[in-house]
Amino acid sequence: MIELRVNNGEISFEPIVCGEVVCESFSRGRCSSLSFSVVFGGGAVVREGDSVSLRVDGVGVFFGVVFGRRKDSERVVHFFAYDQLRYLKNKDTYVYSGKRASDVVCMIAADYKLRLGEVRQTGYVIPQRIEDNVALIDIVGNALDIELEQCGQRFVLFDDFGKLSLKRECEMYCSDENDFVRVNESSAEKFDFYSSVDKRSNRVKVSRLDRKSGRREVFVAKDEDSESRLGILQQYVKVTGRDENLGSKASAVLALRNHDERSLSVKNAVGDARVRGGCVIRIDMDDFCGLASVMKCVHKFSGGGHLMDLEVGLN
């Protein structure tokens, strides 16, 4: 059972919805969205700026703000709403030093008056960073990329039903008492598996210029078995920090990049309200069997039914 509720600052009500209710979420870089339609004149008025929430069987799936509407010739009004991450499309300039990625999230949330939820502390302290005229979502994303490269920890920034939250990917397991949400051939209408080595790096060369001597320090980390099978696929990284260990840097980047790019698109799977972009589910298919990260999730509610489309990363 779904409950879609709108609050216009004066009253809270459930609009008379017609057609499909669609909720989209992503693992990074984009806000979640909700779209729904009502018959013009069918109840209280929904306006831009109204808050809207979606619950499924009592579970909060979406909370955000109506940003726009469109009315067609059939007198049906189509609304779309976004969660708090929409405000991270704002651009700004930040110069900061000695901050973790989690500190950057809290700093931006305070500056833009965003509600914070649970923000897990990241590990790496960024010595100094200049972000000039950059979208806020990219400022956070850059800090999280540095965390991943330095500490190997992948974090997910998302709106948790109206609260900006940051969690480790390993905390985003979509399970109940160790029973993971599972997707297989029998629970989905269509699926499309993709695999490529095009973005793989099996050799990483890290260099740093010593400005005093003019000499360049170089360190190389490589996977000889992979090079023998695929040829040399090199990534070149420049380092400026004097305290950074080149060997550790090269090994860390190699560990992150030395894998095939694999993905799975699933169409019309049995819906589960716990699934959202950034969470981890289990895939049980011939080409892949194991835990996987949801890059994009589209929930579709219509006529009492609930289906979902998924784009899943299989790294």
- For the chain, domain boundaries: 2-82, 87-169, 172-196+261-267+276-295+308-313, 203-257
- In this predicted structure, what is the pLDDT of residue 298? 97
Non-local (6+) Cβ contacts of 108 within 8 A are: 88, 94, 114, 136, 139, 140
The Cα 165–Cα 159 span in angstroms is 6
Would you identify the CATH topology of the domain 87-169?
Phage tail protein beta-alpha-beta fold (3.55.50)
- In this predicted structure, what is the pLDDT of residue 184? 83
Rounded average pLDDT per 10-residue block, the chain, 315 residues:
90 90 95 92 80 94 96 90 97 97 98 97 94 97 92 93 95 73 84 92 92 85 95 91 81 90 91 93 84 94 92 85
- In this predicted structure, what is the pLDDT of residue 42? 59
Say if 2-82 and 87-169 have the same CATH topology: no
- In this predicted structure, what is the pLDDT of residue 176? 60
Choosing among 2.130.10.10, 3.40.109.10, 2.30.300.10, 2.40.160.50, the CATH entry for 2-82 is 2.30.300.10
- In this predicted structure, what is the pLDDT of residue 43? 63
In this prediction the pTM is 0.89
